[in-house]
């Protein structure tokens, strides 16, 4: 949910967007600066930033990149804008592919949030910047109105979320990353989501960061056809702030990660939130889609759900971690993987069940939300030693093509700590 960074460690929205809804950031906490200044030549400071990306090693990113780095896949980042001039994003941002209409073509980042998401997805790591999980992918930036955009003149030439989603749907971006949200639904935004789904896009959004106070339903994550992503820590446990309900579909790394401190792009800070988890999930999808360009969005998502790390039955997704911890390497290492039918929505049950497990918003009364049986007490995938979908047991993966081997559990390191 996109907005500014408050100094109490949370991102909040300070005002409503053009469509009257409050739009919030889904990057929650901000801590100490971890590198200054930006654009340093690789060295101690760069190593510090890279070390903050704790998930790259346990996810075996360098091994995955031998198979797929996301080449040929474009990711639409709908956010506060994207700065294409950071060292890590030079050559990675396709500003010229944004429609020339004034409401779309203004892409300058006014808070640093969107640029952080873009780097987490497709950053090259150059100049001491963030290394994206899919550095071969490309970013198409769409700027939307959030609470950080104070200038009325700038607001009037900046898109609403619905406008941006429709523009992205008409582009050749395969994935739409939405690291933002609101506790109120919007008919125009929902219609845009349906339109993008009809165009074959994979839509991914953060569930929100307000679980400790209200745990309100977060949109667009709660709309049908949107993959709702929760944030988990190094042990595979959901963040306390990460909003939950049966619209949580997957979980990804979202705590203690480096993000740009602000729009000055002079330093990174340690942050957390479902924003980052959303970006890492979009990058994971880009890796898979690049390796399997003939797959549909349904098949990409289905493969990520089937291979997610969990120690609960697949037919009883958790209200906190959904189908489990994202593991794209499990898709890439299985050359014979069955992605399922091209036209079958892997979230069809959730899409038809309504939202449960969260506090209803003003526009979605509880009476309109049919109940759903979920494993609502599942807050961690740590300690799992089982495979989803009957896969190969852990520790017996040597010799598999591409050698994408992790000893232990999903996102585990040698000490069997879960990272998600």
The pLDDT tens digits of the residues spanning 323-346 come to 999 999 999 999 899 999 999 999
Stretch 256-271: mean pLDDT, rounded? 94
Q: What is the pLDDT of residue 190?
A: 97
**Residue 58, C-beta contacts closer than 8 angstroms, at least 6 positions apart:** 406, 411, 412, 413, 417, 419
**Residue 89: strand, helix, or coil:** helix
What percent of the chain shows pLDDT beyond 90? Answer: 62
Q: What is the pLDDT of residue 414?
A: 23
| Whether the predicted pLDDT of 38 surpasses 50 | no
The single residue of 68, 103, 109, 113 carrying the catalytic annotation is 113
| Whether the predicted pLDDT of 355 surpasses 80 | no
- Asked whether the beta carbons of 302 and 258 are under 8 A apart, the reply is no
Residue 162 tokens, joined: 């619905």
**Residue 101, C-beta contacts closer than 8 angstroms, at least 6 positions apart:** none
Mean pLDDT of the chain: 79
| Alpha carbons 24 and 181: distance in angstroms, whole number | 6
Q: Alpha-carbon Rg of the chain, whole angstroms?
A: 19
**Is 318 designated active site?**
no
| Whether the predicted pLDDT of 375 surpasses 50 | no
The single residue of 80, 111, 161, 275 carrying the catalytic annotation is 275
The single residue of 3, 79, 290, 311 carrying the catalytic annotation is 79
| Whether the predicted pLDDT of 390 surpasses 70 | no
Residue 404 tokens, joined: 């994408």
Give the model's confidence band at 257: pLDDT under 50 very low, under 70 low, under 90 confident, else very high. Answer: very high
| Whether the predicted pLDDT of 387 surpasses 70 | no
Query: Any bridge partners for residue 139, and if so which?
Result: 75, 93
Give the model's confidence band at 361: pLDDT under 50 very low, under 70 low, under 90 confident, else very high. Answer: low
**Is 79 designated active site?**
yes
**Is 244 designated active site?**
no
> Judging by beta carbons within 10 Å of its beta carbon (0-12, 13-18, 19+), is residue 201 exposed, middle or buried?
buried
| Whether the predicted pLDDT of 19 surpasses 70 | no
Q: Which of 25-39, 150-164, 203-217 has the lowest mean pLDDT?
A: 25-39
Q: What is the pLDDT of residue 360?
A: 64
Give the model's confidence band at 146: pLDDT under 50 very low, under 70 low, under 90 confident, else very high. Answer: confident
Q: Which domains does the chain have, with CATH numbers?
A: 4-403 (3.40.50.200)
- Asked whether the beta carbons of 73 and 134 are under 8 A apart, the reply is yes
């Amino acid at each position: 949910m996109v907005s500014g960074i408050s100094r109490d460690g949370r991102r909040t929205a300070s005002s409503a967007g053009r469509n009257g809804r409050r739009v919030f950031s889904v990057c929650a906490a901000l801590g100490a600066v971890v590198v200054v200044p930006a654009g340093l030549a690789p060295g101690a400071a760069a190593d510090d930033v890279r070390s903050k990306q704790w998930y790259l090693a346990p996810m075996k990113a360098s091994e995955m990149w031998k198979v797929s780095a996301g080449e040929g896949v474009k990711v639409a980042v709908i956010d506060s804008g994207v700065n294409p001039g950071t060292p890590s994003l030079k050559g990675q941002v396709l500003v010229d592919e944004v429609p020339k209409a004034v409401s779309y073509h203004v892409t300058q980042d006014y808070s640093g949030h969107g640029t952080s998401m873009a780097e987490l997805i497709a950053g090259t790591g150059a100049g001491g910047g963030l290394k994206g999980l899919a550095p071969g992918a490309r970013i198409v930036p769409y700027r939307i109105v959030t609470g950080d955009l104070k200038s009325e003149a700038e607001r009037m030439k900046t898109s609403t979320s619905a406008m941006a989603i429709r523009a992205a749907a008409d582009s050749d971006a395969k994935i739409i990353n939405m690291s933002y949200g609101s506790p109120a639904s919007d008919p125009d935004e929902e219609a845009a989501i349906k339109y993008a789904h009809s165009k074959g896009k994979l839509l991914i959004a953060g569930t929100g960061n307000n679980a400790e106070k209200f745990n309100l339903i977060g949109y667009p994550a709660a709309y049908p056809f949107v993959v709702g992503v929760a944030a988990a820590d190094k042990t595979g446990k959901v963040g306390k702030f990460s909003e939950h309900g049966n619209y949580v579909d997957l979980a990804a790394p979202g705590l203690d990660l480096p993000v740009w401190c602000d729009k000055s792009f002079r330093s990174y800070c340690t942050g957390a939130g479902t924003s980052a988890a959303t970006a890492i999930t979009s990058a994971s999808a880009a890796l898979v889609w690049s390796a399997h360009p003939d797959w549909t969005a349904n098949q990409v998502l289905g493969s990520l759900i089937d291979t997610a790390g969990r120690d609960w039955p697949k037919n009883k997704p958790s209200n906190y971690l959904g189908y489990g911890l994202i593991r794209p390497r499990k898709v890439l290492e299985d050359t014979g993987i069955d992605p399922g039918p091209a036209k079958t929505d892997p979230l069809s049950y959730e899409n038809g069940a309504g939202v449960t497990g969260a506090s209803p918003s003003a526009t979605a009364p509880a009476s309109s939300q049919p109940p759903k049986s979920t494993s609502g007490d599942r807050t961690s995938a740590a300690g799992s030693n089982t495979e989803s979908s009957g896969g190969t047991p852990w520790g017996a993966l040597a010799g598999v093509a591409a050698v994408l081997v992790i000893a232990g559990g999903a996102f585990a390191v040698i000490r069997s700590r879960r990272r998600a």
